[in-house]
């Protein structure tokens, strides 16, 4: 499903079944034309159908690519390098490299170094010495995060240009493909650098929605599930219903 979330209030404004342009349009129809024009920023992942609808319905909004999904993309590129080098190590009976590149270690490999223990850092240093491609891949992941940490668009562009150069010199196919994707969405990434807007609020609400589903042991009626989300995570409750237009009114 698609949930339209207000980061200011931390609530779901509207929702719809599906995850395509039609579902987002259905959500945006709940807003008035004036509200659509007043939207300043919109945080999404790199989902082109959503971006197309946003450009049409909210022409004044800057589209920000969410940092969480950017990190996901760069981690996916590194994981492809890890899998390739793992197969090579297995074929050449390189036991140390093979053990370090096993699937259960990918979280350590893709973590930023300040989060690792002293022992984990020492093991990574040995791995860097043993495998050039993994060393380069880890540098590319770290440099990309540093670029996203920049406070201005100009400093981000300089850091990104340096990152592109290392990618070209590395000749790692997974990162070369990623670089093309980053170039395509650079304007939207720069909008994130300027605003700092992410889908963090939406991700938090997603966890709450999953809990709702577990509490109900699943929903056979999807529309009922949508309404329950609006009730528990949105504005659909008695405190937000305007009773002025009803036939009765509570008097003090």
Each residue's pLDDT tens digit, 186-237: 999 999 999 999 888 988 999 999 998 888 888 888 888 898 898 888 887 6
Could you state, in order of their start, the residue ranges of all structural domains in the chain? 2-66+198-240, 68-186
pLDDT at residue 246, rounded to an integer: 44
Q: Is the pTM of this model over 0.85?
A: no
Task: Please name the residues in contact with 237: beta carbons below 8 A apart, sequence gap of 6 or more.
Answer: 231
Average pLDDT of the chain, as a whole number: 86
**How confident is the model at residue 135, as a pLDDT?**
87
Label residue 152 by pLDDT band (50, 70, 90): very high
User: pLDDT tens digit string along 219-233?
Assistant: 888 888 898 898 888
Reduced 3-state DSSP string for 5-44: EECCCCEEEEEECCCCHHHHHHHHCCCCHHHHHHCCEEEE
Percent of the chain beyond pLDDT 70?
A: 89
């Amino acid at each position: 499903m698609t949930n339209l979330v207000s980061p200011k209030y931390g609530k779901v404004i509207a929702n719809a079944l599906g995850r395509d342009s039609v579902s987002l349009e259905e959500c945006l129809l709940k807003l008035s034309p004036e509200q659509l024009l007043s939207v300043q920023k919109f945080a999404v992942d790199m989902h082109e159908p959503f971006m197309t609808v946003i450009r049409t319905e909210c022409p004044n909004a800057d589209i920000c690519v969410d940092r969480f999904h950017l990190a996901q993309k760069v981690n996916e590129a590194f994981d492809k390098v890890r899998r390739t080098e793992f197969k090579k190590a297995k074929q050449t009976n390189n036991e140390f490299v093979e053990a370090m590149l096993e699937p259960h270690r990918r979280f350590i490999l893709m973590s930023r170094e300040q989060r690792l223990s002293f022992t984990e850092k020492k093991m990574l240093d040995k791995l860097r010495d043993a495998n050039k491609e993994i060393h380069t891949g880890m540098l590319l992941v770290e440099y990309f995060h540093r670029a996203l940490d920049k406070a201005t668009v100009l400093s981000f562009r300089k850091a990104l240009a340096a990152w592109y150069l290392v990618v070209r010199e590395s000749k790692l196919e997974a990162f070369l493909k990623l670089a093309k994707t980053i170039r395509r969405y650079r304007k939207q990434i720069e909008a994130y650098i300027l605003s700092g807007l992410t889908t963090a609020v939406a991700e938090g609400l997603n966890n709450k929605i999953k809990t709702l589903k577990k509490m109900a042991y699943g929903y056979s009626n999807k529309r009922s599930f949508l309404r329950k989300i609006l009730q528990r995570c949105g504005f659909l409750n008695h405190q937000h219903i305007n009773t002025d237009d009803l036939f009765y009114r509570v008097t003090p």
